[in-house]
Amino acid sequence: MEPNETSSILSLEVTQEQKEAIYHFFAHNDWEFKEVQIPPNNDQNRDDSGDGDYFIEQDDKLDECLYCFCRPCITNERNRQLWWETDNHREHERNSQLRKEKYKRFWTNLFHRGVWKDPRYLEQKHEALRRDFRGGKYIYHRRDLMPKCVIELVRHWYPNLQDKEYMGHMWE
């Protein structure tokens, strides 16, 4: 590099062999370079504990959902996420596990909208936990109650076999 030339950081994901080839190429040209340590990218390891501290604003012009307190409802098409189903699945035994996965994701969506901290929700949760102190009566994720709108949509995507009752009642 010429003394007056400005430098920038270029990061590449390479194999050991490629790395050595690059070093050789630099050495061959008599170029100097400085290695910069980049902290590992933790994005992939991030779970849904809600560490991402961003906040998604509600749209004040729209009606608030009675169940999830979102404007519009968290299950409204406008809130569609990549992991949303486009088709409903067939009734199946394994669907209960698949529903759980979706509840988890909705939990995170609601977290980012501050629903789990809404005083109205907290009051309802308090009341529900009092009535359901053994658990099992409602559908929870991380001790938060899934709102009716979410449960309805997710059960639509992954229905139970016809003669099989759903676990947990809807919290209304």
First to last CA, the chain: 67
Query: Shortest approach of Zn ion to residue 76 CB, angstroms?
Result: 8
CA distance 36 to 124: 51
**Residue with Cβ nearer Zn ion (117 or 130):** 117
Query: Shortest approach of Zn ion to residue 125 CB, angstroms?
Result: 16
Query: Shortest approach of Zn ion to residue 12 CB, angstroms?
Result: 45
Cα dist from 51 to 47, 66, 109, 110, 111, whole Å: 8, 27, 12, 13, 10
CA dihedral for 88, 64, 102, 159, sign (positive or negative): negative
Query: Does 146 participate in binding Zn ion (rule CB under 5 A)?
Result: no
Size of residue set near Zn ion by CB under 5 A: 5
Q: Which of 139, 145, 149, 151 binds Zn ion (CB under 5 A)?
A: 149
**Residue with Cβ nearer Zn ion (145 or 149):** 149
What x/- string results for residues 50 through 69 when contact with Zn ion is judged by CB under 5 A? ---------------x-xx-
Query: Shortest approach of Zn ion to residue 90 CB, angstroms?
Result: 26
Which residues lie across from 144 on neighbouring strands? 141
Q: Which residues bind Zn ion (CB under 5 A)?
A: 65, 67-68, 73, 149
